[in-house]
Chain A
């Protein structure tokens, strides 16, 4: 059976023009997905967790939820971790569980969590990707290689398609790529600036200086590249900047984002300018947005003390948490090995797929697969909420929302 126009949950682009062919519950063919989306959709059945496990033994889901609730209740300092691969309603529930328990809450660090608070502070706007498609004539990729992460970004929205204003598609747009290495996505860029590690702040200031006709603080080949970039940038009428997690890969992560946003603020005085985070996981944006809305911070949070806390890996490595609930997030694979060793025997999880965290969990509860069996909304990388359209019926496992709602009631 062919199902048309489903939403792909392979990455945070949430492409809504994908067709899939089903044989029973299995997806046997995809049309219009990139290789990442295809791997997720067609590879699902190979790596599903199908039964609830308590200490490695199969149990029914109800019992597993009760056990998990007991473990959470008996923990003195629990940590609720994740939400980046869940729908928005689940993230809200995870925050409520953390609040009710007086727990820590954290998720994988993401560019969205660095950018959203500053974006409000500096009043730099963000446009819908559809606006970028129609109008953006200058596209900047900063610290991101879309050929490795968001494979359809250039073809679906930012570079290739013909828009109502940029009628010739890629021939009407200038693309600039700023990165610390010559990445695969630089192939489609007219301006390729390979910059020194952790020099993003200086590069952003250099672009601003060159825009205003001042000599930049940098020296060398990169200045020549940036001067050429700026000569085209001055003629742009809509600049769309896409900032990836590469911008966070040094000690000055927040400073880099602030410098990029300040550059965008200056550009906004000359032309339309928008800054977009390139969300790393399917709903990293929704996770950051929910934190910002509920807590007015995107930093890890301590609900007991009602203040920002240290990141999960620091809490784990100094033994500050005695139980972790991973909300469809592979926490043990994401934090350093030394920190994850400290969590041995202290983890429970909800999960779609088998994972390192699931394999080391005292309780593992299988849940419906987001976008395939479970619906709700997820937030696209430009901040737009997208309604997911589940197309496979699975009555054997609960949805993540259902599990967290029941947990919330039990604790």
Chain B
């Protein structure tokens, strides 16, 4: 089962009145929340009206994993990593940055997206991930091939 946070899940905990006090509709606001382009506090009714307090609490709980993720919404937990290197070799962007990884080797280039050090993954340049703005490609190959669940795409 997917653990990714969806726009509709977020929308469910918004007022749903489309008051546009945040500058957009509630659905648009849900998209912005997931992308990290808006904060919960940007929705005045949600934070000030007591009748939404339940929704507010649930929304904060839902979005908590996103706050700890990088801007790519990729969460990497080195503690869980077993150093298999699947992500290094499968990641299309990493292969472009260090072509030797296309043939199954660990990336050695300092410009690579990530590398394996001391048997664990080490993120070098997460900003080069193609999920990063402005490309925002919906790629999750690293999550698909990760044996141990150390890599998670949270939204």
Q: Please list the residues of chain A having a beta carbon within 8 angstroms of any beta carbon in chain B.
A: 17-19, 29-39, 42, 133, 147, 151-152, 154-157, 159-162, 169-170, 184-185, 187-188
Given A39-B119, A147-B84, residue A32 in contact with residue B105 (CB < 8 A): yes
Contact status A31-B89, CB under 8 Å? no
Q: Does B74 contact A (CB under 8 A)?
A: no
Contact status A38-B119, CB under 8 Å? yes
Contact status A169-B82, CB under 8 Å? no
Q: Does B72 contact A (CB under 8 A)?
A: no
Tell me which residues across on chain A come within 8 A of B119, comparing CB atoms.
30, 33-39
Tell me which residues across on chain B come within 8 A of A155, comparing CB atoms.
84-86, 88-90, 104
Q: Please, could you name 5 A-B residue pairs with CB atoms under 8 Å apart, sorted by A?
A: A32-B108, A34-B84, A151-B82, A157-B104, A187-B145
Given A169-B102, A184-B147, residue A31 in contact with residue B116 (CB < 8 A): yes
Given A160-B145, A161-B102, residue A42 in contact with residue B118 (CB < 8 A): yes
Bitwise, B63-96 to A at CB < 8 A (1) or not (0) is 0000000000000000001111110111000010
Contact status B116-A34, CB under 8 Å? yes
Q: Does B152 contact A (CB under 8 A)?
A: no
Contact partner, A184, options B81, B89, B115, B148, Cβ 8 Å? B148
Tell me, rounded to whole Å, the shortest Cβ–Cβ distance linking B5 to chain A: 21
Contact status B90-A169, CB under 8 Å? yes
Q: Please list the residues of chain B having a beta carbon within 8 angstroms of any beta carbon in chain A.
A: 81-86, 88-90, 95, 102-106, 108, 115-120, 144-148
Tell me which residues across on chain A come within 8 A of B85, comparing CB atoms.
32, 34, 151-152, 155-156, 160
The residue of chain A having its C-beta at the shortest distance from the C-beta of B115 within the complex is A31
Given A42-B118, A160-B145, A187-B147, residue A32 in contact with residue B106 (CB < 8 A): yes
Tell me which residues across on chain B come within 8 A of A170, comparing CB atoms.
90, 145
Contact partner, B147, options A33, A42, A157, A188, Cβ 8 Å? A188
Contact partner, A161, options B104, B115, B145, B147, Cβ 8 Å? B104
Given A42-B118, A184-B148, residue A35 in contact with residue B81 (CB < 8 A): yes
Tell me which residues across on chain A come within 8 A of B117, comparing CB atoms.
29-31
Tell me which residues across on chain B come within 8 A of A33, comparing CB atoms.
83, 116, 118-119
In Å, the complex CA distance between A357 and B146 comes to 37
Tell me which residues across on chain A come within 8 A of B115, comparing CB atoms.
31
Known: A33-B83, A37-B119, A154-B84. 15 other contacts (CB 8 A): A19-B108, A30-B119, A32-B105, A34-B84, A34-B119, A37-B83, A38-B118, A154-B86, A155-B85, A155-B86, A160-B89, A162-B103, A185-B147, A187-B147, A188-B86
Tell me, rounded to whole Å, the shortest Cβ–Cβ distance linking A151 to chain B: 4
Most chain B beta-carbon neighbours within 10 Å: one of A34, A155, A156: A155
In Å, the complex CA distance between A17 and B106 comes to 8
The residue of chain A having its C-beta at the shortest distance from the C-beta of B103 within the complex is A161
Tell me which residues across on chain B come within 8 A of A38, comparing CB atoms.
83, 118-120
Tell me, rounded to whole Å, the shortest Cβ–Cβ distance linking A382 to chain B: 14
